[in-house]
């Protein structure tokens, strides 16, 4: 266990914050031993995956635990389905690639999302028309109070849009140890409808795409429009796309005829990026922080010297201006600490 430990290398915003204590654990037994110690000292806990969805606004007066649980296993379920289980510390994109190399389908639209497998259920990671709930079977978690291992199936996880029980009722109560997915091994379902996948496949000259082609197209699109955290500190989309009542949307449509929306019964999901852009934030920089020039939903540590507090304050200014112009309250997707 190390003391007064810099978390700068452990968050993709690249902001400085110190943890009072820090430890890396490589097995569930090590984790349990560590938690027993933390309980005896009543230390607050912070679990670290890839650090790609957290904003550290201050030093952490507790124990930060880096989860290095590794390993991937699989079991054939039938002629066309395989159950693949990955431990929490596996890198998400490497896991996706290892499945694609075996021609297992279901994860291809989720290529190149930063972070670890163990964090994927936290916000039901999603991209390009797929969310993990579409292929999720269950996850094993450690109950932080009882230190017993429990299994959470799809229903128990209560997945929603960038949401799960782990961000709601179960927040701070469990640590995810491993996640199991049901993937196809022969006949795959190809999803090309969302975003620019079709046009990117056309660019690549592909008419009959495989799951590997979909992954390639998604990687190309992501690399062309999202900043690489290794080069510019960021945590991807900072805000969720808000869902507003249909009547509110119709009102806005009269004032802003170009507003886009995706209706669902009496509600409409509105792209947060468009709202932010309309408020003049795209590419705008204040001090060390900016909204990305290609994707206004992404807040960046523009100079590399931003503090978490500066980034948080910048996000508050965006929330306030969207609220003032459209009467819509944006929710932060990133976990604030
Ligand atoms: C460039 C970029 C693009 C992105 N694109 C997408 C996208 O398309 N779709 C999407 O959904 N997300 C996206 N994200 C956000 C992020 O990659 C995902 O949310 C990812 O799942 C976070 O994983 P992580 O391991 O880095 O989480 P961390 O940031 O390490 O942790 C996030 C939260 O989960 C907690 N935590 C971590 N591990 C565990 C565990 N095992 N058990 C319990 N709690 C835990 C942490 O304490 C923290 O509160 C993007 C981020 C970046 C930087």
Question: What confidence tens digit (pLDDT) does each residue in 133-159 have?
Answer: 999 999 999 999 999 999 999 999 999
Residues in the chain predicted with pLDDT less than 70, given as ranges, are: none
pLDDT digits (tens, 9 = 90+) for 300-315: 999 999 999 999 999 9
Identify the residue whose C-alpha is closest to ligand 1 atom 35. 47
Same domain flag for 41 and 101: no
Q: Quick one: pLDDT at residue 194? A: 84
Same domain flag for 174 and 45: no
**Bridge partners (DSSP) listed for residue 149:** 142
Same domain flag for 92 and 63: no
90 contact partners, CB below 8 Å, separation of at least 6: 70, 71, 72, 116, 117, 118
* CATH number for 284: 3.90.78.10
Q: Quick one: pLDDT at residue 225? A: 87
Same domain flag for 40 and 161: no
**Bridge partners (DSSP) listed for residue 160:** 163
Same domain flag for 192 and 245: no
Identify the residue whose C-alpha is closest to ligand 1 atom 3. 236
pLDDT digits (tens, 9 = 90+) for 31-64: 999 999 999 999 999 999 999 999 999 999 999 9
Ligand 1 atom closest to residue 120's alpha carbon, by position in its atom list = 21
> End of a domain among 181, 198, 225?
225
CA 268 to chain centre: 22
Ligand 1 atom closest to residue 227's alpha carbon, by position in its atom list = 1
Same domain flag for 246 and 322: yes
Same domain flag for 173 and 80: yes
DSSP state, 3?
E
> End of a domain among 225, 252, 268?
225
> Which of 55, 114, 294 to probe ligand 1 with, by most ligand atoms within 8 A of CB?
114
309 contact partners, CB below 8 Å, separation of at least 6: 57, 58
Q: Which domain holds residue 95?
A: 72-225
Other Cβ atoms within 10 Å of 212 Cβ, number: 15
Number of domains in the chain: 3
Q: Quick one: pLDDT at residue 265? A: 86
* CATH number for 133: 3.30.465.10
Q: Quick one: pLDDT at residue 106? A: 98
Chain mean pLDDT for the chain: 96
Q: Quick one: pLDDT at residue 137? A: 98
Same domain flag for 84 and 191: yes
């Amino acid at each position: 266990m190390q003391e007064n430990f810099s978390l700068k290398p452990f968050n993709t915003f690249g902001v400085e914050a110190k943890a009072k204590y820090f430890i890396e654990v490589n097995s569930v037994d090590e984790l349990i031993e560590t938690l027993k110690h933390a309980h005896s000292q009543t230390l607050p806990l912070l679990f670290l995956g890839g650090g790609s969805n957290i904003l550290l606004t201050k030093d952490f007066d507790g124990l930060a635990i880096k989860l290095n649980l590794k390993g991937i296993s699989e079991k054939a379920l039938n002629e066309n389905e395989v159950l693949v289980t990955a431990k929490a510390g596996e890198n998400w994109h490497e896991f996706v690639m290892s499945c694609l190399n075996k021609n297992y389908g279901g994860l291809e639209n989720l290529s190149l999302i930063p972070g670890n497998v163990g964090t994927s259920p936290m916000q039901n990671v999603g991209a390009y028309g797929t969310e993990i709930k579409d292929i999720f079977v269950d996850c094993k978690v450690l109950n932080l109070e009882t230190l017993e291992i429990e299994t959470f199936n799809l229903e128990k996880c209560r997945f929603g849009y960038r949401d799960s029980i782990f961000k709601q009722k179960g927040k701070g109560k469990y640590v995810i140890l491993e996640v199991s997915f049901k993937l196809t091994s022969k006949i795959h379902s190809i999803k090309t409808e969302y975003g620019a996948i079709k046009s990117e496949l056309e660019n690549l000259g592909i008419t009959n795409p495989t799951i590997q082609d979909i992954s390639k197209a998604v990687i190309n699109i992501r690399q062309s429009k999202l900043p690489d955290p290794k080069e510019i500190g960021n945590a991807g989309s900072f805000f969720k796309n808000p869902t507003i009542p249909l009547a509110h949307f119709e009102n806005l449509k009269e004032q802003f005829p170009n507003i886009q929306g995706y209706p669902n019964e009496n509600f409409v999901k509105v792209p947060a990026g468009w709202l932010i852009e309309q408020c003049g934030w795209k590419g705008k920089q204040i001090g060390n922080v900016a909204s990305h020039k290609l994707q206004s939903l992404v807040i960046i540590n523009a100079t590399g010297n931003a503090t978490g507090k500066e980034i948080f304050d910048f996000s508050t200014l965006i929330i306030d201006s969207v609220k003032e112009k459209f009467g819509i309250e944006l929710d932060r997707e990133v976990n604030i600490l």
